[in-house]
Amino acid sequence: MKELSLQIDRLQALENDAWAAVEHQFAGRLYAYVARRIPDQQAREDVLQEIFLGAVRGIGGFDQVYTLEQYLFGICRNRTIDHLRRRRDTTVSSSPEGVDETDPLDQMAIERSNPGSIVGERDLRTRTRSLLVQVLRDWVQETWSQGEFKRLMVVEALFLGGWRNRDTWERMGLSGERAVAGIKFRALARMRALAGQGDADRGLLEVLSEEEGAVGGAEVLLVSDEWAASHASCPARHWLARHLNGSLDEGPKSFVEFHLSKMECPWCLANLDDLEQERVAPQALIERVQASTMNYLRSRTLPQEPS
């Protein structure tokens, strides 16, 4: 965490080296995300450039409850949506090459909100939300380290996937709806305990208790939103690498496969593409994107001409 805030300080100071390092580290996975949704090569490049320019412009408001990757993916999603909207607006008539059966915009509508959009909505960033993110992460980490992957999958399906109890028990091979309700009940109880260990926040405890047996409502959405925005259950990149080379043990393997194939997590799929070098950004493209960011940084840091 210390390391991250140090890095953020340097990025906020618009240091060239710090930004070049970030682009080097993240261009591949961001490009992979864009490439899954935008077929045109030139447009992909433009969008990648816009993402980093957007990141530079927005870094002053970076919220440290998230990671840098979540911040960048949030902007990445927004810029991709912007591009797809513009393209849809300019091509009102049918596409020349037959039917493109899935509109990427429809696909993205089901992807949940993200730090990029939340950054722009400052009033939503309450202390309660920040604490909630921490509790969700702690709970996932604890459940993972206990080897309770089935429990992790069920709770992820409910909060991140928005599955209903009655769908979940069948798809997860549980004994019935009550088994699902029981898992959810115990998970929320544990989250409340985790929330109470630090400085307990009344709002947070309410959110986590009203979840119980709730049919819907604002609280459920809040937990689901923050689960998605904080990528609470996304396995770290090294787990994805081990998934690719087939070296995962049964438990983590089942969870990672569930997360990728059933949750269809867009961020992890982009990371996976990047690791597989499938939709990898050409080196020349990365260099052009870096040049464009550097240009912008230079324009921001040069002393203004006296008028």
Q: Which residues bind Zn ion (CB under 5 A)?
A: 234, 265, 267-268
Nearer to Zn ion, 169 or 267 (CB): 267
Nearer to Zn ion, 66 or 267 (CB): 267
The answer to whether 153 and 143 have CB atoms below 8 angstroms apart is: no
The CB-of-283 to Zn ion minimum distance in angstroms stands at: 27
Which stretches of the chain are assigned E, i.e. beta strand? none
End-to-end CA distance of the chain: 43
**Amino acid making up residue 96:** P
Nearer to Zn ion, 27 or 270 (CB): 270
Nearer to Zn ion, 9 or 264 (CB): 264
8-state DSSP, 198: S
The answer to whether 171 and 163 have CB atoms below 8 angstroms apart is: yes
The CB-of-259 to Zn ion minimum distance in angstroms stands at: 6
Nearer to Zn ion, 84 or 269 (CB): 269
Taking CA atoms, 204 is separated from 112, 128, 188, 268, 287, in Å, by 21, 5, 11, 28, 45
Nearer to Zn ion, 31 or 227 (CB): 227
Report phi then psi at 170, rounded to 5.
-70, -45
The CB-of-231 to Zn ion minimum distance in angstroms stands at: 6
The answer to whether 169 and 175 have CB atoms below 8 angstroms apart is: yes
The CB-of-160 to Zn ion minimum distance in angstroms stands at: 9
263 three-class SS: coil
The CB-of-34 to Zn ion minimum distance in angstroms stands at: 17
Structure tokens at 106: 């429809």
**Euclidean distance between CA atoms 245 and 273, whole angstroms:** 13
**Euclidean distance between CA atoms 138 and 276, whole angstroms:** 29
The CB-of-302 to Zn ion minimum distance in angstroms stands at: 40
